[in-house]
Structure formats: C-alpha cells, structure tokens
Homo-oligomer: A and B are copies of this chain.
Amino acid sequence: MKIAICQINTITGNISHNSKVIRQFAAQAKEKGADIAVFPELAVPGGFAKDLYLRKDFLSACDGELEVIAKECPVPVVLGTVYEGENAVVYIKAGKITRFASKNNSFEGLRYFKNNDSHAFADGISACVYSGFEDLMKAAQKASNENVKYLIVTANDVFYMGRLEEIHNELKECASKQNINIVFVNMCGAQDGLVSYGRSIAVTEDGIIIAAAESFEESMTIADFSNHTPVDCEEVPYELQAYDALVSGLKDYALKNGFSRFVIGISGGVDSALVAVIAKDALGSENVTGIFMPSEYTSNQSKEDAELLCKMNGIRLLTVPINDLFDSFKGALSHIFVGKENDLTEENMQSRIRAVLLMAYSNKFNALLVNTGNKSESAAGYSTLYGDSAGGYAAISDLSKTFLYKICEYRNSLIDSIPKSVLEKEPTAELRPNQKDTDSLPPYEVLDGMIVKYFATFNPNAKSGMDISGDEKKIFRMIDRTEYKRQQAPMGTKISKKSFIRDLRIPVTNGYRG
C-alpha cells in the first residue's frame, strides 16, 4: 500500500484554488504510483474559516468543488471538507463520494458543525478527523475491530512549542496499542496567525515512523507500507521550530492578503531587529523597508545598530527624524496643556508620531506594517496604543522577551544576522532621557515567569488554589488592566500553548483584584 501524504497549504475561503491544489496533488500522486492520496482536514474550504461555514452559498460552493474533485481525481482520495453539515472526512473513489467520519466538536466547532458518531470504511481504509487523543484512540479501536488496516487521521493542527512531540507520541502510542497503521496528514501554512505545522507522518502498527514530511512546508510524501524502513523523526529545538513558525505566520498573512512588501520601524533594539530578519526570511530582503525615526532621546548606539542590522541583512533603511514633528505637536497643544508637567503623554506622543509615519509609508507603497511588540510587553501593556502597538500583523506578539534572545542566538548561529551589540545592550524604549525598561517593569526573567503563572491561574481543575505573592498580584493586576490594549492589537503568530486573546479571554471591565 503506497499512500501519498498531501500536506497542502490552503487559502481559507478560496475554494476553487484549494480544489485546484488538491487535483494537482492527486495527479502527482498517481504519477508517483500511489494507491491513494490523502489530504488534511477541511482541505476544500480551508481551515479556520469561522462564520463562512454558516453561509449556505459557501457550503454549496464547497459541495460543487467536491464534485469536481471526485470527477477529476485519478486516484482514490481521502480528504477533509464540510459535508452535510459536518466537519467530515470523505473517501472518493471512481467518482463516488463516501462519508467516512466526522470531527467530535467541542466549543467553537459546535457553532458550525454537527456531531455525528457514525463512521464507515472501505477497501481496508478508515479515517477520522483529529480531535484529541481520546477520540483518536476510539477511532483506531473501531477501525481495528473491523479489521481495517489503515487509519487516515486528517488534521488542521496548530503549532505551539511542544506540540510536534506530543502529537507524534500520541500517534505512535495509538498505532501500537490498537495495532493499526496510521497516516497523519496535517495542513501546513498559516491562517490569521494560527500556523498549521504540517509534519505529517506515517506510523506502522508497531509504532514505527516510516515517513515524515517537513514541518511548515507544502509537500507530498509517499508512505510505502509494503516496503519500508524507519525514518528519523527527531524534532529540532524549540528555537528553530518557533522561528520557522514565526516566518510561516508572517509570510502567509502577507501573501494571502495580497501584500508583497513589508515596512518596519527599526529602533536599533532587539525586537525590531528580529522582526526585520523574520520579514526578510519571509519575503526576501528586497521587499523589506526599515524606517529609523530618531528623537532627541535616541542614542548614537541605536543609530549604529539600526544601520548595521540593515546592512547585515541587505534591508533598505530610511531615516525620518521626529524631533520637529514632536515639537509641532507640543506647540499645537501648548495652549491646552499650559501649566502641566511632561508625563507619559509626551512619551506616547513620540510613539504615535512614528506610527503615523509608518502607516503613511504603508499606505503609499502598499507595504504591510509589521508590528514588533513581544509577549512580555503585551502582557504588561508596555506599549503605546496607536503607537508602537500599531501594525497590520504582529510578528512576535506571542514570543516572550527571554525566549526572544534565544531565538536571536539560534538565528545568528545559522548566519550572523543580528548585531552583537543589539543582543548585549539593556532594553530601552528611548522615550525620555536614560530610560530603561526596568524602570517600569521587573527584569524580564522575572516578568516572563509571572506571565506563565498568570496563565496557570485560569485552571478550574487545579487541585488547590495557588500561592500568589504580593509582587505577583501587582503584575497580574497590570496584565488585567491592560487588556484593552491587547483587544485593539493587530493579530500575531501563535507559538505558545497559551497565548493572549486566542487562548485567554479576559474582560476589559474587570473588578477582580484577586
């Protein structure tokens, strides 16, 4: 049995495009001598289409394309799609479509899809749509009981650090416990910040991996169950996985939304440096423009670092000083601010002036403004709304500051891309004389630990309440108080198991003082 694992990158909502990709892959599978071609969950409509799944015209269009696929595919196909109101996996052979199974929905899935426990199989093949280990085991057991030899597990499974290891362990355990060959076919590519990691695998009933696709890349991988050798499927370190996910998230957001260029505010600091390199890896250095916008508080070091960074990466750097603009605003408001001391207002103003400049560039040249805020700042609200929080897409908003340095080191170990001085100097927003991040925040190692603990408090199954120190309470309150900024922030790439907004939903109006 030769199974072509078609790890495709769909465009959500673009049904005709997805159908074309499916038919091309199926034709290729035939050429390669595959007996069957298998595709991910929701391959026809694309994943995470949200309320599009509620549109009758959209569902009809999916049905129509499924018919086209059924007519044209030269090999039997297993694929995920919306089918009779279910998030289903169907089997197509000689023009005939058979429903095999559907996903066991929880929470959001219930808004769109029916739950339906029934399943079918044919030609020694069964299938399911991945929805957790428990359901996987059940599907495998059913298939095994019916002497089915192959279980195709279709998925649109999202990356977070640790996920690849988890899923592969689940699949190996399931295959060997239920004595069934499993092919896991996952989507790849990103949709609105959720990165499907690909990394499809085939596992024998002995729990041995005999084929594995790359992470994050569209590919076809042949799993030959009649003639196989184990493949090495050890995962690379989290730094590398996360970095690739960050590139994938940004790249797909840009391309699928019609952007071919990026603009980034380059401060000379580490956040914008990493984002510039990610942007370069996503679309090429020729499509990245950096804008350096110094004020009177900007150090010479920042200027040198910004220039060196862009030189090292072949990125064009433009410079627009903001001092005169800053003075103009202060002048325009002086009759209203008379007698008032300088405060956060003036710091925010500088940040917002920069956003106006960046957005002007973005509008004029149709370049996507990439936001450079990280998760630690996002948690603490250490950003200016409509200032440095602006952007069409946030490249690293789920990346904590401490882990960010590790990723920079990793990236530098491939090719030196981020200047050493950027990594060594102390973080500063440079919005007032001699400002340091630690003036307002605990050291990032401490802050990042508290953020992890903050997320952990949202667990009703915890055995007991947590001990929360006074310092932690202060930071937790800071996180709560700045939720209004996160709710207006651009979307970004999820790389951690618990990200803000996507995995945590806290109210803005929040009287809890825990």
* Interface, chain A (partner B; CB < 8 A): 11-15, 17, 46, 48-61, 85, 106-108, 110-111, 191-192, 252-253, 256-257, 318, 320-322, 324-325, 328-329, 332-333, 336-337, 340, 343-345, 348-349, 352-353, 355-357, 359-361, 363-364, 385-386, 390, 392, 457-460, 462, 464-466, 468, 484, 487-491, 504-514
Residues of chain B within 8 A of A54, CB atoms compared: 458-460
Give the residue name and chain of the B residue nearest to A331 (CB).
B324
Give the residue name and chain of the B residue nearest to A458 (CB).
B54
Contact check: which of B488, B504, B507, B512 meets A489 at CB < 8 Å? Answer: B488
Contact B356 A336 (CB under 8 A): no
Contact A85 B465 (CB under 8 A): no
Contact B363 A191 (CB under 8 A): no
Contact check: which of B13, B85, B466 meets A511 at CB < 8 Å? Answer: B13
Q: How far is A332 from B59 in the complex, measured between Cα atoms in Å?
A: 50
Contact B457 A56 (CB under 8 A): yes
Contact B57 A514 (CB under 8 A): yes
Q: How far is A52 from B356 in the complex, measured between Cα atoms in Å?
A: 36
Q: How far is A83 from B144 in the complex, measured between Cα atoms in Å?
A: 43
Contact A57 B466 (CB under 8 A): yes
Contact B459 A511 (CB under 8 A): no
Residues of chain B within 8 A of A507, CB atoms compared: 12-13, 48-50, 52, 191-192
Contact A192 B57 (CB under 8 A): no
Residues of chain B within 8 A of A352, CB atoms compared: 355-356, 359, 386
Q: How far is A377 from B199 in the complex, measured between Cα atoms in Å?
A: 43
Q: How far is A484 from B357 in the complex, measured between Cα atoms in Å?
A: 20
Contact A360 B349 (CB under 8 A): yes
Residues of chain B within 8 A of A322, CB atoms compared: 332
Contact A510 B52 (CB under 8 A): yes
The residue in A15, A504, A508 that gathers the most chain B C-beta atoms within 10 A of its C-beta is A508
Do A55 and B488 form a contact, CB below 8 Å, given A356-B356, A509-B191?
A: no
Contact A360 B345 (CB under 8 A): yes
Residues of chain B within 8 A of A363, CB atoms compared: 343-345, 348
The distance from the CB of A386 to the nearest CB of chain B, in whole angstroms, is 4
Contact B506 A52 (CB under 8 A): yes
Contact A318 B332 (CB under 8 A): no
Do A58 and B512 form a contact, CB below 8 Å, given A325-B328, A348-B363, A386-B355?
A: yes
Contact A52 B512 (CB under 8 A): yes
Q: How far is A491 from B508 in the complex, measured between Cα atoms in Å?
A: 10
Give the residue name and chain of the B residue nearest to A341 (CB).
B364
Contact A58 B462 (CB under 8 A): no
Contact A360 B385 (CB under 8 A): no
The distance from the CB of A104 to the nearest CB of chain B, in whole angstroms, is 14
The residue in A52, A57, A85, A466 that gathers the most chain B C-beta atoms within 10 A of its C-beta is A52
Do A340 and B353 form a contact, CB below 8 Å, given A58-B514, A253-B509?
A: no
Contact check: which of B12, B110, B361 meets A106 at CB < 8 Å? Answer: B110
With A50-B505, A320-B336, A345-B363 known, 12 other A-B pairs at CB within 8 A are A14-B511, A17-B511, A52-B512, A54-B459, A57-B466, A59-B460, A191-B509, A324-B328, A344-B363, A349-B360, A353-B356, A356-B356
Residues of chain B within 8 A of A329, CB atoms compared: 325, 356-357, 360
Contact check: which of B359, B392, B506, B509 meets A348 at CB < 8 Å? Answer: B359
The residue in A11, A252, A361, A487 that gathers the most chain B C-beta atoms within 10 A of its C-beta is A487
Residues of chain B within 8 A of A512, CB atoms compared: 13-15, 49, 52, 55, 58
Q: How far is A464 from B325 in the complex, measured between Cα atoms in Å?
A: 57
The distance from the CB of A261 to the nearest CB of chain B, in whole angstroms, is 14
Give the residue name and chain of the B residue nearest to A333 (CB).
B360
Contact B504 A51 (CB under 8 A): yes
Give the residue name and chain of the B residue nearest to A48 (CB).
B507
Contact B340 A364 (CB under 8 A): yes
The distance from the CB of A327 to the nearest CB of chain B, in whole angstroms, is 9
Q: How far is A357 from B56 in the complex, measured between Cα atoms in Å?
A: 46
Contact check: which of B55, B361, B460, B488 meets A460 at CB < 8 Å? Answer: B55
Contact A511 B256 (CB under 8 A): yes
Give the residue name and chain of the B residue nearest to A455 (CB).
B51
Contact check: which of B320, B491, B506 meets A333 at CB < 8 Å? Answer: B320
Q: How far is A50 from B191 in the complex, measured between Cα atoms in Å?
A: 25
Among all A-B residue pairs, the 4 with the closest Cβ atoms: A14-B511, A13-B512, A345-B363, A13-B511
Q: How far is A12 from B511 in the complex, measured between Cα atoms in Å?
A: 6
The distance from the CB of A500 to the nearest CB of chain B, in whole angstroms, is 11
Do A506 and B51 form a contact, CB below 8 Å, given A324-B332, A359-B386, A512-B15?
A: yes
Residues of chain B within 8 A of A390, CB atoms compared: 385-386
Do A511 and B340 form a contact, CB below 8 Å, given A110-B106, A457-B56?
A: no
Some 9 contacts from A to B, beta carbons below 8 A apart, are A49-B507, A55-B458, A56-B460, A58-B514, A320-B332, A325-B328, A329-B356, A340-B364, A348-B360
